[in-house]
């Protein structure tokens, strides 16, 4: 054997023996354990939503094991190599200078320089309401905002465009789009972005849609109306300076209003109104513009578009009571007038004999503006304003024994009066209404199931404020007409 080869082998053996006998273990190289290093950001200042490249060492191509944050807000990683990360400045990043952080496999590096998030030139600092559903109108408060809605683009959850319906430099009103989920609003003005100060909580269930404005530019509140077969009729009501005697038929398919002959009696707000056997009925109500409370009773014939006055309602004149039409009888009562105040008497009208009979009084507190609906041949009364304030109790009327039963209290529903109320698909609904004690006015919608004697939450009512309204159920939907400070009319649909 070659002596030099023997010497080489001997030397290698000696070296390996010495290494194995040392106290230091043999280390294997693991590139993922190398600490990340941030060297630069290009550019080193940007607006939210801009793209920035972070240059450094020991990053990863696996974005699932990495995190990046700007001024404390997590950023979206768009692409990654071991030396460069392409990221978007997060919408939540504050407009200030701060440290960049990159985390790889739970090992975090901080930049030795500050990254500046540039202020967009306007701000959004409040949102009201903070929850709702598709169609909900949301007000964003801010500073240095445009007064022209066309200059503002709004998106929801960074994907769905939201309609901007109002702007005045301090407020921007946007409509929550259909298909939304819980998330923030984003405003874009002149290519710059600002985000709402929190997430809007989206409530699923039911759909409110604004149809159009009521004719003549009026905001009539306390209207009367009824459904006769597949025909819907609405009219009367009053505004501050104009008594409304107009009467209309709504086409339930096209949602168009067709003018009918005017109501011949005194205009009124909050009368009893119901229908039976192809005819409509209106009784009593608050005369509003003319003063006083009526007891006159009228019948409408749709075939001839004509009105006939019947003998007066025998009870006290009143407005804003409750009405049930069950079988061949109508039941009316409660409400208010200037003599007795909040009323609790209850009456039955027999269509066959055209006579009124007074029944036992309603057992709860007298009230005005209660919600009411009929489910499976029983009437229900919810809330209203009593002499002691607003209420949220629920009562069931059984016409077979002319008896009342108090149901489970709706503790999670804010007390209210003069609200939207109707029944469809064997469920009862209340929404919006008037709160005399607090602002803003309630917009929540709740659904009552008599089988479980319980309520669940549905989509918020469309607009900011609606009270003193007319609600008319029609097949699997409900129509809601105008009200205080509101000239719109709406349709609501819900799954069974």
* pLDDT tops 60 at residue 19: no
Task: Report percent pLDDT > 70 for the chain.
Answer: 91
Residue 70: pLDDT band (50, 70, 90) is very high
> What fold does the segment set 207-493 form as a domain?
Neuraminidase (2.120.10)
Residue 33: pLDDT band (50, 70, 90) is low
Q: What tens digit of pLDDT does each residue of 218-275 get?
A: 778 899 999 999 999 999 988 666 778 899 999 999 999 999 999 999 989 999 999 9
- Report how far residue 148's alpha carbon sits from residue 131's, in angstroms, rounded to the nearest whole number: 25
Higher pLDDT, 112 or 12: 112
- Report how far residue 407's alpha carbon sits from residue 417's, in angstroms, rounded to the nearest whole number: 18
Question: Strands 107-117 and 45-46: what pairing?
Answer: parallel
Q: Place domain 36-117 in its CATH homologous superfamily.
A: Immunoglobulins (2.60.40.10)
Structure tokens at 386: 């009593």
- Cβ atoms of 380 and 373 within 8 Å: the answer is yes
In the chain, where are the structural domains located?
36-117, 123-202, 207-493
Average pLDDT of the segment spanning 95-99: 86
Residue 440: pLDDT band (50, 70, 90) is low
Average pLDDT of the segment spanning 378-382: 98
Task: Judge if the upstream peptide bond of residue 41 is cis by omega within 30 degrees of 0.
Answer: no
Higher pLDDT, 301 or 433: 301
Q: What pLDDT does 181 receive?
A: 86
Give domain 123-202's CATH architecture: Sandwich (2.60)
- Report how far residue 373's alpha carbon sits from residue 449's, in angstroms, rounded to the nearest whole number: 12
Higher pLDDT, 18 or 398: 398
- Report how far residue 386's alpha carbon sits from residue 384's, in angstroms, rounded to the nearest whole number: 6
Average pLDDT of the segment spanning 1-26: 40
- Cβ atoms of 316 and 345 within 8 Å: the answer is yes
pTM for this model (two decimals): 0.73
* pLDDT tops 60 at residue 126: yes
Task: Count Cα atoms within 13 angstroms, Cβ side, for 386.
Answer: 15
* pLDDT tops 90 at residue 128: no
Helix H or strand E segment including 21: helix 3-21
* The two domains 36-117 and 123-202 share their CATH topology (first three levels equal): yes
Residue 180: pLDDT band (50, 70, 90) is confident
Average pLDDT of the segment spanning 454-478: 87
Q: How far is CA 280 from the centre of its chain?
A: 33
* pLDDT tops 60 at residue 4: no
Q: What pLDDT does 26 receive?
A: 40
Average pLDDT of the segment spanning 388-393: 94
75-89, 108-122, 126-140, 250-264: least confidently modelled range: 126-140
Tokens 């949602």, residue located: 255
- Cβ atoms of 347 and 333 within 8 Å: the answer is yes
| Mean pLDDT comparison of 24-28, 123-127, 289-293, highest-scoring range | 123-127
Average pLDDT of the segment spanning 485-496: 84
- Cβ atoms of 46 and 191 within 8 Å: the answer is no
Q: What pLDDT does 167 receive?
A: 96
Higher pLDDT, 22 or 319: 319
Instruction: Output 360-365 pairs: Cβ under 8 A, ≥24 positions apart.
Output: 360/402, 362/333, 362/334, 362/395, 362/404, 363/395, 363/404, 363/406, 364/391, 364/393, 364/395, 364/404, 364/406, 365/391
Mean of pLDDT over the chain: 89
Q: What pLDDT does 108 receive?
A: 95
């Amino acid at each position: 054997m070659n002596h030099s080869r023997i010497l080489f082998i001997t030397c290698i053996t000696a070296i390996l023996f010495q290494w194995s006998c040392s106290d230091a273990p043999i280390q294997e190289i693991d590139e993922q354990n190398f600490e990340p290093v941030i060297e630069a950001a290009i550019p080193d200042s940007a607006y939210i939503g801009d793209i920035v490249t972070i240059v450094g060492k020991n990053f990863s191509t696996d974005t699932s094991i990495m995190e990046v944050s700007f001024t404390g807000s997590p950023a979206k990683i768009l692409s990654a190599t071991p030396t460069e990360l392409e990221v978007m400045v997060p919408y939540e990043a504050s407009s200030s200078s701060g440290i960049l952080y990159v985390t790889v496999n739970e090992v975090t590096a901080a930049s030795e320089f500050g990254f500046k998030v540039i202020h967009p030139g306007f701000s959004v600092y409040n949102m009201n309401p903070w929850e709702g559903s598709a169609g909900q109108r949301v007000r964003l408060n801010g500073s240095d905002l445009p007064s022209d809605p066309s200059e503002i683009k709004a998106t929801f959850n960074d994907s769905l465009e939201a309609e901007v319906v109002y702007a005045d430099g301090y407020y921007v009103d946007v409509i929550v789009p259909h298909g939304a989920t819980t998330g923030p609003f984003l405003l874009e003005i002149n290519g710059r972005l600002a985000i709402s100060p929190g997430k809007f909580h989206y409530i699923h269930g039911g759909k409110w849609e604004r149809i159009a404005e009521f004719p003549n530019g009026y905001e009539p509140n306390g209207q009367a109306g009824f459904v006769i077969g597949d025909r819907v009729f609405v009219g009367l009501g009053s505004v501050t300076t104009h008594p409304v005697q107009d009467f209309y038929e709504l086409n339930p398919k096209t949602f168009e209003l067709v003018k009918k002959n005017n109501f011949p009696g005194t205009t009124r707000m909050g009368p009893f109104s119901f229908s039976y056997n192809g005819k409509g009925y209106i009784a009593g109500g608050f005369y509003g513009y003319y003063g006083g409370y009526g007891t006159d009773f009228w019948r409408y014939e749709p075939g001839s578009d004509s009105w006939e006055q019947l003998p007066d309602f025998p009870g006290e004149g009143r407005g804003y009571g409750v009405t049930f039409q069950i079988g061949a009888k109508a039941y009316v009562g409660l409400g208010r007038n200037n003599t007795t105040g909040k009323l609790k008497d209850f009456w039955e009208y027999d269509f066959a004999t055209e006579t009124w009979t007074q029944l036992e009084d309603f057992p709860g507190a007298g009230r005005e503006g209660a919600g009411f609906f009929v489910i499976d041949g029983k009437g229900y009364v919810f809330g209203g304003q009593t002499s002691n304030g607003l209420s949220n109790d629920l009562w069931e009327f059984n016409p077979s024994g002319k008896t009342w039963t108090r149901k489970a209290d709706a503790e999670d529903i804010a007390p209210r009066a003069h609200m939207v109320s109707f029944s469809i698909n064997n469920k009862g609904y209340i929404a919006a209404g008037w709160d005399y004690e607090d602002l803003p006015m309630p917009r929540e919608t709740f659904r009552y199931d008599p089988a479980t004697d319980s309520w669940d939450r549905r989509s918020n009512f469309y607009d900011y404020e609606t009270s003193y309204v007319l609600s008319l159920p029609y097949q699997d939907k409900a129509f809601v007409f105008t009200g205080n400070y509101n000239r719109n009319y709406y349709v609501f649909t819900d799954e069974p």
